Amino acid sequence: MSGDLAKITRKVSGISGMWNPVEIYTPDPTSLKKEKEKVFAAFGKDKSYNPKFTYSHANTLKVAKNKRLLLKLKDEVASLKPKSSLEKVVKRILYLNIEDNLSNCLLIEGIKQKDESKIAKAFSQKYPRLTKNLIRVANKSYERLTSPQSALPVQKALLTHDEQEYLKNLKLNARQIKEAFEWALAEYGILQDEKQNGPAFRVSISKTSTSIDVRDKSKTGPRISIPADREVTGDKLLELIGHEVEGHSRQSVNGQLLFAVGGSNLKIDSEELYEGLAKRYDEAFRLEFFGEESGTPKPFFVFATQMAQDGKSFFKIFEDQIERHLRTELKIPTSQKLPKYIDDESWEKALESAWKTTYRVMRGHINTKNTKKFAMTKDLSYLLGWLLDKKLVKAGKGYLNEAAILDHRSLPALKELGLSESSLPLPYKNVAKLYWEDILKPRAREKS
């Protein structure tokens, strides 16, 4: 890599590591908890309530100086003439990363100034757009999920019936999840400890995190964050190892080792291919261990996004999501009315799922009545990424999505490098299966 390109890369890395957009636009945990209770209470009384979120982290950030530097660096990158295919890839990813950081500046300014026009513009610059094709795929998926005859094909499974039941009934807390993630990271040689000098992740238990999340960009460095109150079943733990470690973390380190970009501080914030790879491993796990076809990813973010962009309020979206989750839980198509009596467990599941989908799509809003008619569209990445990754795998190029955290605009440049699967610094090992065989399976035998 030329000296000029390497120098600019170091400068951009120093800035982008300061800003994780998810940390910027996710409401304060206390705000989320309090407002969730108010929304649920209003729904229980057949009333409407749109929550009021606060964003303390965003309000502590300063952007003016870094914004000026980023604009200068953007011009410098644009003027560079790559001397090789590798430099062409690095230049492309670096340019997109600078654009990501400039949109982060706009996002921070919008939240601090309570200017939703800026927030909406930042989201539109950073994240996928809702398309007619995504809506079509989502509607088809929803039709299947609400059909009483929606069972997917079952194939021969790796696990016996007793082993499947053991995993589904095994409960693991945050500390045990952390231990499993650290084991899996260590298998790939990317666990951050006193012996590790290269790219690596640490695992932390957090009282403020609301979901298990890989954070390349973070105030505390690259890490996998686990909510302190999180509990998962054994099968979910193995799926998470594939998703968070073999998908996200490994993809990030591959990018750093191959290109010095496409991971860590220099990852691309638009995460469609990032989530597409992780969904590939979700599907592979379910098929191998349980013989279950996964089908299209759940479509709820598409519907919530569509309503938000039509100007519907938080509470209207929440109500719609409740009905959609009830219908999928009870297998009741839209051509039929919901029953007058619904059991408490189904209600509770629907309420929790509806809240999660709605608040995620409405993150970043100052006024959740949504007068500016916008959505936080990052979560469209699950469905869009699944579609994109399927195309790569079908073309025999699935390994390109393991090479770095990119977006589809970077793929043409990446293809020119002539990479093969053997080019990956960290080839796929299926450590989820190793964790089952080495750690959990012996425990299952002890229980039997």
Band (92; pLDDT cuts 50, 70, 90): confident
pLDDT the model gives residue 447: 75
Residues 347-393 pLDDT 10s: 999 999 999 999 999 999 999 999 999 999 999 999 999 999 999 99
Residues 412-446 pLDDT 10s: 777 778 888 999 999 999 999 999 999 999 998 88
Judged against a pLDDT cut of 60, whether residue 1 lies above it is answered with no
In angstroms, what CA-CA distances link 61 with 108, 210, 217, 308, 382? 7, 21, 15, 27, 29
pLDDT the model gives residue 89: 83
Residue 289's closest CA among 156, 153, 190, 141?
A: 156
Task: Report the Cα–Cα distance between both ends of the chain, in Å, rounded.
Answer: 57
Residue 319's closest CA among 107, 19, 43?
A: 43
373: left (phi over 0), alpha (psi -120 to 50) or beta: left
Whether the Cβ atoms of residue 110 and residue 116 lie closer than 8 Å to each other: yes
pLDDT the model gives residue 194: 61
Band (152; pLDDT cuts 50, 70, 90): low
> Three-state SS for 260?
coil
pLDDT the model gives residue 196: 67
Alpha helices in 206-299 (DSSP H): 234-240, 250-259, 272-290
Whether the Cβ atoms of residue 278 and residue 248 lie closer than 8 Å to each other: yes
In angstroms, what CA-CA distances link 334 with 162, 303, 306, 431? 37, 14, 18, 41
Span 158-167, mean pLDDT? 94
Whether the Cβ atoms of residue 307 and residue 320 lie closer than 8 Å to each other: yes
Judged against a pLDDT cut of 90, whether residue 153 lies above it is answered with no
**The dihedral of CA 127, 129, 130, 131: what is its sign?**
negative
Q: Which of the pair, 2 or 57, is modelled with greater confidence?
A: 57
- Comparing 28-32, 119-123, 168-172, the range with the smallest average pLDDT is 28-32
pLDDT the model gives residue 82: 86
> Three-state SS for 353?
helix
**The dihedral of CA 288, 290, 293, 295: what is its sign?**
negative
- Spell out the residues 6+ positions from residue 92 whose beta carbon is closer than 8 angstroms to its own: 409, 410, 413
Q: CA 26, CA 208: separation in Å to the nearest integer? A: 11
Query: The tokens of 35 are what?
Result: 């407002």
Count of C-beta atoms within a 10 Å radius of residue 47? 9
Q: What does pLDDT average to over the chain? A: 91
Judged against a pLDDT cut of 90, whether residue 322 lies above it is answered with yes
Whether the Cβ atoms of residue 265 and residue 322 lie closer than 8 Å to each other: no
Nearest-5° Cα angle at 108, 107 to 112: 120
Band (262; pLDDT cuts 50, 70, 90): low
Q: Which of the pair, 20 or 246, is modelled with greater confidence?
A: 246
Q: CA 51, CA 39: separation in Å to the nearest integer? A: 7
pLDDT the model gives residue 40: 97
Span 293-310, mean pLDDT? 92
pLDDT the model gives residue 151: 63
pLDDT the model gives residue 420: 87
Whether the Cβ atoms of residue 407 and residue 96 lie closer than 8 Å to each other: yes
Whether the Cβ atoms of residue 128 and residue 270 lie closer than 8 Å to each other: yes
Residue 344, judged by CB atoms within 10 A of its CB (0-12, 13-18, 19+), counts as exposed
Whether the Cβ atoms of residue 405 and residue 274 lie closer than 8 Å to each other: yes
Per cent of the chain over pLDDT 70 is 96
Judged against a pLDDT cut of 80, whether residue 88 lies above it is answered with yes
Band (221; pLDDT cuts 50, 70, 90): confident
pLDDT the model gives residue 307: 98
pLDDT the model gives residue 94: 87
Band (215; pLDDT cuts 50, 70, 90): confident
Query: The tokens of 88 are what?
Result: 């062409």
- Comparing 66-75, 105-114, 154-163, 337-346, the range with the smallest average pLDDT is 154-163
- Comparing 43-47, 202-206, 211-215, 230-234, the range with the smallest average pLDDT is 211-215
Judged against a pLDDT cut of 60, whether residue 77 lies above it is answered with yes
Query: The tokens of 298 are what?
Result: 């759940």
Whether the Cβ atoms of residue 52 and residue 368 lie closer than 8 Å to each other: yes
